[in-house]
Structure 1
């Protein structure tokens, strides 16, 4: 009887190697996409933190000044937080004495630079200021900041805010 030819193992080996290469490629693409999404999420969170901080700085009401100050402190860290804490008493006194009502509006924000736990953001915001019980007309003011934001415990907070022209 004639001997049957045994199939070569080469095609099976080639298919196994190709499958392994394909699997590595899929995993690499997934991880690369996941990292890109994490960077994009961090970028948006840093921009949002700076914008929220700007609105907090500009939105003050003599009737809710304690909560307003807590909101400013909750969105800041480091040197910015220390400066706000040092000036909180004077800001509260002035706001209450003059019956100030301010409403801030974020106009724009843009990323200047970003690293893993730090970023610099430019922020544009406006505020409408009025004085309760006063005949003085409301005023609109325009603010521009360069803000350093720092990721602390997974949360982006403003660590420095400098007004720019």
Structure 2
């Protein structure tokens, strides 16, 4: 077994389950006579690798220390919870909490928004609780950083069933007097910020981004070329599982004449050590069938990459729920 510095990646029954589910839905809408039996997908593994020490690969020089990388991710997670959580019973203390985790300018902007929504939150008695299922660094320099986070928000209100929404967000962090503070937050959108200065991390990010776009975008008319490209970017168990699922994927995409367009709008390194890396890739796009009907398809990927023959290849892929 490969020596993964942050523990072996979890394995799933099929790496294509979410893609197949989407195609099944499109095929049913188009009244295509297609029946697919899918294997059950085990519960998502906990983000152990995302919480481990974010090391730097040997032989790679970087102006940013592992300590800074860990501190900025921890600060971003804390800030996200403070900024996004809401409860009408604790609104009075919200201003102080926001100010503690934010730069003065961003705190001011956040509190202006809070003042606007406070009456409706109080009236509805709604509460929101956010958890971060994964996070990774998009870019970092000495005093600023961008962190990509996968958010799950549980909203409850009296008389209604709880609602959970999933999203991806980028947070701009600024180092002020030695402390990392939130300086901007965008949900399902990319923020301008520093690039990654470490050469190895840049290579990993490019490989993961290229794979994410290839994996989530394909055309029934160029199916063989599209899937061959995915295989050229992958290795190991993932490549095997992907190859085994191609018959079902081709049958469904042909039946519904599917065209899937995907774009990776952000990616961040969660872990890097030796010849292995964990990278988050957030994609957004559409799936269109033979009736011209399109559905939005946003995916939150967590990828394991291995350095094979001098090239970073994906050995495992997980759709984070």
Give the TM-score normalised by structure 2.
Answer: 0.39
Residues 49-68 of structure 1: pairs in structure 2 closer than 5 A: 49-68=207-226
**Whole-angstrom distance in 1 between the partners of 2:319 and 2:305:** 15
**Is contact 2:60-2:200 (8 Å) kept?**
no
**Whole-angstrom distance in 1 between the partners of 2:60 and 2:303:** 25
Number of corresponding residues: 129
Displacement, 1:156? 0.3
Displacement, 1:51? 1.1
Residue in structure 1 matched with residue 109 of structure 2 by the alignment: none
**Whole-angstrom distance in 2 between the partners of 1:131 and 1:102:** 9
Look up the SS of the partner of 1:76 in the other structure.
coil
Residue in structure 2 matched with residue 121 of structure 1 by the alignment: 279
Residue in structure 2 matched with residue 144 of structure 1 by the alignment: 300
Deviations 1:99-123 (A, max 9, x none): 0001110011000110121100011
Residue in structure 2 matched with residue 44 of structure 1 by the alignment: 202
Structure 2 counterpart of 1:89, from 247, 263, 276: 247
Structure 1: gaps (5+ residues): 1-33
Structure 2: gaps (5+ residues): 1-58, 63-196
**Whole-angstrom distance in 2 between the partners of 1:157 and 1:138:** 31
**Whole-angstrom distance in 2 between the partners of 1:57 and 1:150:** 17
Q: Any runs of at least 4 consecutive aligned residues in structure 1 with deviations exceeding 6 A, and if so which?
A: none
Give the TM-score normalised by structure 1.
Answer: 0.74
Look up the SS of the partner of 1:94 in the other structure.
helix
RMSD (CA atoms)? 1.6
Look up the SS of the partner of 2:220 in the other structure.
coil
Deviations 1:56-94 (A, max 9, x none): 111110100000110110111111101101001111111
Matched, 1:109 2:267: yes
**Is contact 2:276-2:304 (8 Å) kept?**
yes
**Whole-angstrom distance in 2 between the partners of 1:80 and 1:51:** 16
Worse-superposed segment, 44-53 or 145-154:
44-53
**Whole-angstrom distance in 2 between the partners of 1:48 and 1:77:** 16
**Whole-angstrom distance in 2 between the partners of 1:148 and 1:109:** 13
